[in-house]
Chain A
Amino acid sequence: MAMPPDSTTLVLAAISAWLLIGALGIAALRKLRFVSRVLFPAGAAVGVGLAVAAFVAIGAPPQVAVLPLGLPDLPFHVRVDALSAYFLVLLGAAGAAISWFSAGYFRSSEGTPPGLICFQYHVFLAAMAFVLIADDAYAFMVAWEAMALASYFLVTTEHRIPEIRRAGFLYLLIAHVGAIAILLCFGVLQGGGGDYTFGAMRAVTLPAAWASVAFFLALFGFGAKAGLLPLHVWLPEAHPAAPSPVSALMSGVMLKTAIYGLLRVAFDLLHLQLWWWGAIALSLGLVTALFGVIFAAAQTDMKRLLAYSSIENIGIIVAGIGLAILYKAYDKPLLAAIALTAVLYHALNHAFFKSLLFLATGSVLHATKERSLGRLGGLIHRMPWVAWLALVGTLAIAGLPPLNGFVSEWLLLQAFLFTPTLPQSFVNMLVSIAAAALVLAAALAAYVMVKFYGVVFLGRPREPSLAYAKDAGKYERAALAALALGCVLLGVFPGVVIGALDPVNLLLVGHSTGEAAGDWLLLAPFGEDRSSYSAVIVLVVIVAVVLVTMQVVHRYYHGRVRHADPWDCGHPLQTPRMQDTAEGFGQPVRQVFEPFFRIERHLPSPFDDKPRYWLKPSDPWWHWIYLPIARAAEFAARFVGLIQQGRISVYLTYSFVTLLALLFFVR
């Protein structure tokens, strides 16, 4: 009797398939048709297979394997448990849709040839999958670095443009600073035993001080990848630089590998959690969320806007992790499980709606060659498919029911609101302030999304060239539709997702969410008498209200339509330039949060006959952290530069004298 193959074999098969597709891409370096019509769809099929296999594996007991790869005496260990499997589902599902989109997206360009993009893209996917199943520090770091390098090359696809090379370098730099922290974190975690498998790390009992060191190294290292303050600066640079499917993959999936790493270290590898870790992670997450959303409101480049929105979402996720740590430390596993469920759910949701939006911006970019919000508008008439599908993503990210963004934010808020049971009054106060901040961030996110959607798709075209914009092709439409459907389904059937998350919760906090999981209709984490949410009922009510309203309006109002000139404010002529601009829409937020920004503003003089007004909000963290570091390095380099003579004999003398001195002192 044939046994079904175990999950590690299936995941490894998917990884190998992706690598094989990548290798075929190298073989067909410049055959764009083959790459886009055969290889990328094949990659998407592998993604679907991976998602299905991993979904089955969530409920199964952990599977381990030792690969015959790696250094002699240092083989790669892999393990598929509930946490890995959940993130593999995320990777497979979002990756499949993005691959399908890529099949229609990549055209021949000046930069990297299509076959090479295909190779880098699939190595990126395979490396992310390997990060998720690695079970020793060595394999993890190899996969982690492979992931960073592959994504670096993808970001710099248009490498002939200097800004893009600079953005790529910034990304690579911060990725490596983070990787060093992660490496040190593993060094602390192994506790002096010299065994770097995760199994050995789980068995080590670290003293509280060293455990704290390990946790904060992990928070720093994974935070650099995820975009936590103050290491977020690469996101708004790298995303506009990268091709849209790559942005989608990085923002939707790669950031989640950092979340996975943080969860793995904080709940699985460390045997204890302290309450103040949770408090710090919570505060940091919320500051990041607020910062991200405020900056998103001020952006005028649509991909930068989405990048800052990613920072916000990562902030919310990290805040949720902080909350879960807090509850776990105070021994309230049910609350921890609910917070963690919200975190994991939000990670999945973000993968769907952020990929959807990034891909939609890709379609807009291809159709209009324009990224700046100031030159878009009215695209709903030209690109109805993209516009309506992007609307789903916009509503989901804005956190409106019955879509998926609402469910996870609601769950997280529930977890926040039921805290008065904590033993420390200080922490109680912190958590209620944090809940208020979370609500503020969510509301501002909705504001940002109104701006994004309204300026790009609604109103009238701001440029005459937009009249020639064409809707996306069939591959792109299908991928967008799949992601939008995912947003709807994840929103309408939360009970299924939460039920599937039970094994993850059991693994990480040792408790399931209980009865909240069982019911597919009603979501009530703390019992039906306290608070409950049923997405299906909300959906039915919304649909019913809309239909009834339409009927009523159609029947009673349409009969007496008056035809008259619209109120023209004394302007008989209206031009598209009279519409509210992206800058104008973000202005109230800029005003309110003025101290957060460094704004360069140019006001034209009244006598200027060609007045131009511009303003440039810049990230204050550059001035607070990065520029001082750069200046210090330059200052030090000037002193080191003094010994640079340019003569080889002098350099040789330096090493000779050093050698003699060392020999003299060490002997």
Chain B
Amino acid sequence: MATLPLYAQFINLLAALLLLLSFAMLAQRRVLSLIDLFAAQGLALAASTAIVAYGTGQHHLYWSAGLTLILKVFLLPWILYRLIRKLDVKWDVEGLINVPTTMLIGIVLVVFAFNLAAPISQLASTVTRATLGIAMACVMLSFLMMITRRKAIPQVIGFLSMENGLFFAATSATYGMPMVVELGIALDVLVGVLILGVFFFQIREQFDSLDLRHLEKLKEGE
């Protein structure tokens, strides 16, 4: 087996880090730590994108990396911090399923994701193709996190982390999406978080809590 160039090994390392962070987020029960983990994930993503840009000479990826850094490492965590302080939510959040079971389901998902990515990786011609499985696993783990959390803010973090996974998948499969699309997605995420912030206030106003169980009353009928 031919040895990979150094930058590719770095990317693989960062990919592994991403996956590890995803698992950590799945297991983390405290909201503030969750945000820190999310910021760390963003940092890993920005670093890996920058390295891909350096290694392959795709200069527009530098822009993506910068955007990711600003948006996902600084801006979004800051917004979320402020939200939490204003909303004065509890630190500890209970999941729907206990942590060990969640982790086990997560492992199954990772296996599935690697299985899925294997044929695609063979078709792709990029150096980073091996990391596609990890990217897909990140998407699925984030989705799992959204499902298992009961409170609104962890769900939003899950949503944002899913976007991280998608971004990573795009970078590893095709060296990133066109700049216009990336800018559009970045804007979408930002606007989405702002709107969700408004929703948080409304939900809390209505139910005195951010627990989404209260929303079950909104069901039609009965």
Contacts and interface: CB of A to CB of B under 8 A. Distances in A.
Contacts of A633: none
B22 interface: no
A646 B217 contact: yes
A653 B143 CA distance: 9
Nearest to B155: A648
B45 to A, nearest CB: 21
B215 A648 contact: yes
A636 to B, nearest CB: 15
A646 B217 CA distance: 7
A664 B116 CA distance: 7
B144 A649 contact: no
Interface stretch (A185-193, A348-356, A571-579, A655-663): A655-663
A81 B157 CA distance: 60
A641 interface: yes
B212 interface: yes
Contact of A646 (B112, B116, B215): B215
A664 B115 CA distance: 10
Interface in B90-120: 96, 112, 116, 119-120
Contacts of A641: 220-221
Given A641-B220, A667-B116, A667-B119, A659 B213 contact: no
B41 interface: no
Nearest to A663: B116
A646 B218 contact: yes
A644 B96 contact: no
Interface string B134-157: 000000100110111110000100
Interface in A613-649: 641, 644-649
Given A656-B143, A659-B143, A667-B119, A649 B96 contact: yes
B219 interface: yes
B147 A647 contact: no
A82 B105 CA distance: 71
A645 B215 CA distance: 10
B146 A652 contact: yes
B53 to A, nearest CB: 29
A76 to B, nearest CB: 25
B88 interface: no
Contact of B147 (A656, A663, A664, A667): A656
B205 interface: no
Contacts of B212: 647-649
Contacts of B215: 646-648
Chain A interface size, under 10 / 10 to 19 / 20 to 34 / 35 or more? 10 to 19
A596 to B, nearest CB: 39
A644 B220 CA distance: 8
Interface in B184-222: 212-213, 215-221
A644 B119 CA distance: 37
A646 B216 contact: yes
A7 B112 CA distance: 66
A646 B119 contact: no
A664 B117 CA distance: 11
A653 B212 CA distance: 15
Given A641-B221, A659-B143, A660-B112, A649 B150 contact: yes
Contacts of B119: 667
A652 B156 CA distance: 12
A interface, by DSSP: helix, strand, loop or mixed? Answer: helix
Given A660-B112, A663-B116, A667-B119, A649 B147 contact: yes
B116 A644 contact: no
A647 to B, nearest CB: 6
Contacts of B220: 641, 644
B96 to A, nearest CB: 6
A226 B116 CA distance: 54
Contacts of B147: 649, 652-653, 656
B165 to A, nearest CB: 12
Contacts of B112: 660, 664
Nearest to B112: A660
Contact of B216 (A647, A663, A667): A647
A646 B155 contact: no
Contacts of A647: 212-213, 215-216
Contacts of A646: 215-219
Interface string B5-28: 000000000000000000000000
B219 A644 contact: yes
Nearest to B120: A667
A306 B218 CA distance: 45
A623 to B, nearest CB: 27
Contacts of B148: 649
A641 B96 CA distance: 24
B134 to A, nearest CB: 15
A656 B144 contact: yes
Given A663-B116, A667-B116, A667-B119, A645 B146 contact: no
A659 B165 CA distance: 15
A565 to B, nearest CB: 70
A595 B205 CA distance: 59
Nearest to B118: A667
A652 B148 CA distance: 9
A656 B221 CA distance: 26
A650 B214 CA distance: 14
Contacts of B213: 647
A133 B61 CA distance: 47
B66 to A, nearest CB: 28
A645 B219 contact: yes
Nearest to A638: B221
Contacts of A663: 116
Nearest to B139: A659
A638 to B, nearest CB: 9
A660 B120 CA distance: 16
A471 B213 CA distance: 64
A646 B219 CA distance: 5
Interface in A263-299: none
B25 to A, nearest CB: 16
Contacts of A644: 219-220
Interface in A57-99: none
Nearest to B146: A652
Contacts of A653: 147
Contacts of B146: 649, 652
Contacts of A667: 116, 119-120
A615 to B, nearest CB: 37
A647 B219 CA distance: 9
A656 B212 CA distance: 19
22 contacts: A641-B220, A641-B221, A644-B220, A646-B215, A646-B216, A646-B217, A646-B219, A647-B212, A647-B213, A647-B215, A648-B212, A649-B147, A649-B149, A652-B143, A653-B147, A656-B140, A656-B143, A656-B144, A659-B143, A660-B112, A660-B140, A664-B112
CB-CB nearest 8 A-B residue pairs: A646-B219, A646-B216, A652-B147, A649-B147, A648-B212, A656-B143, A652-B146, A653-B147
Given A641-B221, A649-B150, 16 more contacts: A644-B219, A644-B220, A645-B219, A646-B215, A647-B212, A647-B215, A648-B212, A649-B147, A649-B212, A652-B146, A652-B147, A656-B144, A659-B143, A660-B112, A667-B119, A667-B120
